[in-house]
Structure 1
Amino acid sequence: MTVVLATVCRDGVVIGSDSQITDKGRGMTYPAQKLHPLGESAAWGGSGARSVLTDVERCFNENSATILESPDIGRALQAQVLPILHHHYETFISDVPGDEDNGTPAAYVMAAGWRDGEPWILEITPSGMIGHYADIGFHAIGSGAAMAQQAGSLLSHFLLADRSVHFGCAAVLRVLQALDLTSASVGKPFSLCRIDAEGAHHLSDKEIEDLGNVVSKWEKAEQAVIAKMFD
């Protein structure tokens, strides 16, 4: 199972992901990096066929400036991803003898960034459609997306769009931890990137560990308030 999620904050955007890849055909899971830089002011993640996403990563690395400097970032992303999807759809062999569950070449791509004081969260679907989610404030892709959306809704009363990216990082990590508890195929290590006017910063393992301690304090503070109100 894969989950990549992004949330809008007062001063930026936070995007995060788990690292577990499920290979149904081989009946196995393994860790892989799902969150990647997109130039110095954005980040992206993907869900679906790894062969497609590998080509997308190479393409984005080579063309990040073209994408981010475009007046329409969504169209620029679409222009890069569509030829890759077309290639894999055209060369995919669906009927492999002895392998009835060999997957598909479908892949979802989600990117997020901050430009001219405004957030953007964009998705390119397997059919090539562009989805815009900055106005919604939260989006997720992957087989764990529905659970992530639910977890995000349960945190909506904290008004993430009115809070800093530091709080946004804690909220995204908390969602990922909740999915880790409820799904065996969502797991660590987690990846997080905060993006603001200064650019994109991918959190180190130590920074994520420290953020985990902040989340623990947050949860304990909630328990203390509940105890005073109801116990």
Structure 2
Amino acid sequence: MTVVLATVCEDGVVLGSDSQITDKGRGMTYPAEKLHPLGKDAAWGGSGARSVLTDVARLFTENNAAILEAPDIGRALQAQVLPILRHHYETFIPDVPGEEGGGTPSAYVMAAGWRDGEPWIIEITPSGMIGHYADIGFHAIGSGAPMAQQAGALLSHFHLTERSTRFGCAAVLRVLQALDLTSASVGKPFSLCRIDADGAHHLSDKEIEEVATLVRKWEKAEQKVIGDVFD
């Protein structure tokens, strides 16, 4: 199971992901990085066929400046991803003996950033459609996306769009930890990326552990408040 999610904060955007890749055809899972830089001012993640996402990573690395400087970032992303999808759909062999249920060449791509004081979160679906989610404030892709949306909804009363990316990192990590508890195929290590007016910053393992410490303090504070209210 894969989950990549993004949330809008007052001063930027936070992305997070797990690191477990599921290979249904071989009945195995393995860790892999799912959050990637998109130039210095954005980041992206993907879910689906690894062959497609590998090609996307190469083109995004080569053409990140053109994408981020385009008047319409969504169409610029679409222009990069569509030829890759078409190529893999055209060359895919669905009926391989002994490989029934081995997957498809479809993939979802989600990118996010902060430009001219405004957030953007854009998804390119396997059919090539463009989805804009900055106005919604939260989005997730991958097989774990429905659970991530539910977890995000349970945190909605904290009004993430009115809080800093520091709080956003803690909220995103808390969602990932909740998915880790409820799904055996979502797991550590987690990745976090904070994007603001200064650009995109991919958190180190040490920084993610510092965020985890904040999450534990947050949870303890909630327990104390509940005790004060109901005891």
Whether 1:15 and 2:15 are equivalent positions in the alignment is yes
Residue type of the alignment partner of 2:68: L
SS in 2 for 1:208: helix
Whether 1:190 and 2:190 are equivalent positions in the alignment is yes
Q: How far apart are residue 16 of structure 1 and its match? A: 0.6
Query: What's the Cα RMSD here?
Result: 0.4
CA distance in 2, matches of 1:161, 1:144: 23
Residue type of the alignment partner of 2:112: A
Q: TM-score, normalised by structure 2?
A: 1.00
CA distance in 2, matches of 1:91, 1:68: 30
Q: How does 1:153-172 map to 2 (within 5 A)?
A: 153-172=153-172
Whether 1:178 and 2:201 are equivalent positions in the alignment is no
CA distance in 1, matches of 2:27, 2:72: 41
Residue type of the alignment partner of 1:18: D
* 1:183-222 residue CA offsets vs partner (Å, 9 max, x unmatched): 0000000000000000000000000011100000000000
Q: How far apart are residue 98 of structure 1 and its match? A: 1.3
- Number of positions where the alignment pairs a residue of Structure 1 with one of Structure 2: 231
Whether 1:98 and 2:98 are equivalent positions in the alignment is yes
- Taking only the aligned residue pairs, the percentage that are identical comes to 84
CA distance in 2, matches of 1:128, 1:106: 10
Aligned partner of 2:46 in structure 1 is 46
Q: Which runs of 4+ in 1 moved over 6 A?
A: none
SS in 2 for 1:21: strand
CA distance in 2, matches of 1:99, 1:144: 24
CA distance in 2, matches of 1:209, 1:98: 43
Q: How far apart are residue 27 of structure 1 and its match? A: 0.8
Q: TM-score, normalised by structure 1?
A: 1.00
Q: How far apart are residue 138 of structure 1 and its match? A: 0.1
CA distance in 2, matches of 1:179, 1:127: 27
Q: How far apart are residue 101 of structure 1 and its match? A: 1.4
SS in 1 for 2:54: helix
* 1:136-173 residue CA offsets vs partner (Å, 9 max, x unmatched): 00000000000000000000000000000000000000
Aligned partner of 1:78 in structure 2 is 78
CA distance in 1, matches of 2:25, 2:85: 21
* 1:44-83 residue CA offsets vs partner (Å, 9 max, x unmatched): 0000000000000001000000000000000000000000
SS in 1 for 2:207: helix
Which ranges of structure 2 fall in alignment gaps of 5 or more residues? none
